[in-house]
Structure 1
Amino acid sequence: MPDSSAADVPTTRPSGPRGIQSIELGYRILTAIQQGPDAVALKTISARAGMSPSAVHNYLASFIRTGMVAADARGQYRLGPSLAALGLAAARQVDRFELIRTRAVALSEQTGLGVAVLIWSAQGPVILFNKPDPRNHMFELRNGPVSMLSTAGGHVFATLLPREATRPVVLKERGGRMARAECDRLLDSIAAAVRRTGHADVMLDALPGYGALSVPIWDERDGVAYALTITAPVELIDKSPTGNHVAALHAAGRELSRLLGAPAQRWAAAVPMP
């Protein structure tokens, strides 16, 4: 899946009220340790955080005293018990849907495109939330069940969920007029296309002239919890691999995966989609 690592951590100051820069820098250090795997050397933390080793070492001293970071005998660092306690409390308090909805709205405002969030059900993909393209209201997606074969989010689930879950949905969508081997070949073809770029790219049957791109959002069990989709008239979507729309979509998917507790390889490293 096309990706970058700690460079995803913002280096520019966001607009809004003045904050305390040292806290923001400290958060970058904690995120660098979170990437792991396992305990991390000072040199690696420094590179990931974009800070000098001496500056990082000063932060680590305070983090160790507060139990937010622990150091081992080799001089390597991992997240500590204080952060674990905070994380358990946050898991009880954070509204996951509101977290995702807020990030989806921000993605729409950033790209100027429509955004949808999909989940998987036994009957196939379901649009849980959508924000229409703010510039074009001729067509609008609606919340509720949608086709797996003709939606970008559906292609994400088709790629990453077990075949036992996706095959029955395909056969149902095709009215039972497809042999199992043919169904599997179709799913293999969808998966190959998604893995090649790290995102699904689909022309929407329900919205003529509209296209959609979608990426997975992973959870703490390393499972695909949601599909995050941008959609608009196809001529308005920049589908180039290095274009702003693709980059923003992948960054949002990685950020939400990190916030949902997904393993670091889902949001921090340039690894291929499984």
Structure 2
Amino acid sequence: MAKGIQSIEVGYRILTAVQEGPGAVSLKEIAARAGLAGSAAHNYLVSFLRIGMVTSSGRGQYRLGPALASLGMTAARDVEHFDLIRERAIALSEATGLGTAVVSWSSAGPLILFNKGDVRNQIFALRNGLVPARTTAAGHVFVTYLPRELTLSVIVQEMAAEAGSADEAQAKIWIEDVAQGVRDRGYAVLELSGLPGYGAIGAPLWNAEGQLANVLSITGPLNLMDRTATGAHIPLLLNAARDLSRLMGAPPSFWRN
């Protein structure tokens, strides 16, 4: 790995600690979040105050400042968020050894925009395009967090295709059952009924309006996928989803641990 300047990286941790909020943040809390002694954090904050990257109420409470707002507006114009998501999906695949996918919602259901196979080439080949909502982790995340008017008709159609008939009441019951589990965990996890022996885990990506923008998912053979909450794979997925949500400008409540 190329050499860097550690103080810049430490400074970034401090700014991220301030960004977490909510509202103005105390020196003690900033230091704890950044993993620094209070005196060290204070020295950085003094410099950030001088150049307008943070502001202070004078009572040891800090907020992000106008200099960062100016940089952020420029970045918002110039940064392609999907490029960031795609790069992180590739890195996540390499870190987990599993397949990854970036999924959006369309009027016809979940739509894979990008996918990356695992490094061992043991994962079935995903294809970009439409996938079912009822039998995919991404679909479960979408039906949990998107407005019902966007997802209900898709679920009714899928249930009718499976059973020959379905109505909105049945679809609503199914959605609520799925949504309860996703909300409790913060992500969706399931075995793929259409592909025995494989599973998927999906996490939400939030935009600047606090709305669900995409789902980032990992997919692989069940015997290679750690589906425990504190295991090898789920924390990596959730960290990636939180980082991307933060970079897309989501409110801190959507990406704070």
TM-score category, normalised to shorter length: over 0.9
SS of the counterpart of 1:174? helix
CA shift digits 1:169-225 (9 cap, x unpaired) = 101212372121111100011111212222111222443321100000111110010
Unpaired runs of at least 5, structure 1: 1-15, 270-274
* Superposed counterparts of 1:242-253, under 5 Å: 242-253=230-241
Residue identity matched to 2:207: D
Q: Does residue 97 of structure 1 match 2:82?
A: yes
Q: 1:52 aligns with which of 37, 43, 47?
A: 37
Residue identity matched to 1:52: A
Q: Does residue 88 of structure 1 match 2:88?
A: no
Identity, in percent, stands at 54
Q: Does residue 127 of structure 1 match 2:112?
A: yes
Q: Does residue 235 of structure 1 match 2:235?
A: no
1:197 maps to what in 2? Answer: 185
**Whole-angstrom CA distance in 2 between matches of 1:203 and 1:262:** 30
**Whole-angstrom CA distance in 1 between matches of 2:230 and 2:13:** 25
2:176 maps to what in 1? Answer: 188
**Whole-angstrom CA distance in 2 between matches of 1:179 and 1:224:** 26
The range that moved more, 32-41 or 130-139, is 130-139
SS of the counterpart of 1:129? strand
1:226 maps to what in 2? Answer: 214
1:79 maps to what in 2? Answer: 64
Structure 1 residues 61 and 125, CA gap change in structure 2 (3 angstroms): same
Contact 2:117 2:123 in 1 (8 A): no
Q: 2:247 aligns with which of 235, 259, 268?
A: 259
Contact 1:139 1:207 in 2 (8 A): no
Higher relative contact order (CA 8 A, sep 6+): 1
**Whole-angstrom CA distance in 1 between matches of 2:186 and 2:27:** 31
SS of the counterpart of 1:73? coil
Q: 2:203 aligns with which of 202, 215, 232?
A: 215
1:241 Cα deviation from its structure 2 partner: 1.3
SS of the counterpart of 1:261? coil
Structure 1 residues 208 and 140, CA gap change in structure 2 (3 angstroms): farther
CA RMSD of aligned residues (A): 1.2
Residue identity matched to 2:138: G
Q: Does residue 33 of structure 1 match 2:21?
A: no
**Whole-angstrom CA distance in 2 between matches of 1:47 and 1:63:** 18
**Whole-angstrom CA distance in 2 between matches of 1:113 and 1:90:** 31
**Whole-angstrom CA distance in 2 between matches of 1:56 and 1:136:** 45
Unpaired runs of at least 5, structure 2: none
**Whole-angstrom CA distance in 1 between matches of 2:41 and 2:159:** 57
Contact 1:35 1:268 in 2 (8 A): yes
1:134 Cα deviation from its structure 2 partner: 2.5
Q: Does residue 163 of structure 1 match 2:148?
A: yes
Q: TM-score, normalised by structure 1?
A: 0.90
Residue identity matched to 1:231: T
CA shift digits 1:215-245 (9 cap, x unpaired) = 0011111001010100001111011111010
SS of the counterpart of 2:114? strand
Contact 2:20 2:256 in 1 (8 A): yes
**Whole-angstrom CA distance in 2 between matches of 1:252 and 1:46:** 23
Structure 1 residues 138 and 45, CA gap change in structure 2 (3 angstroms): closer
The range that moved more, 237-246 or 132-141, is 132-141
Residue identity matched to 1:179: D
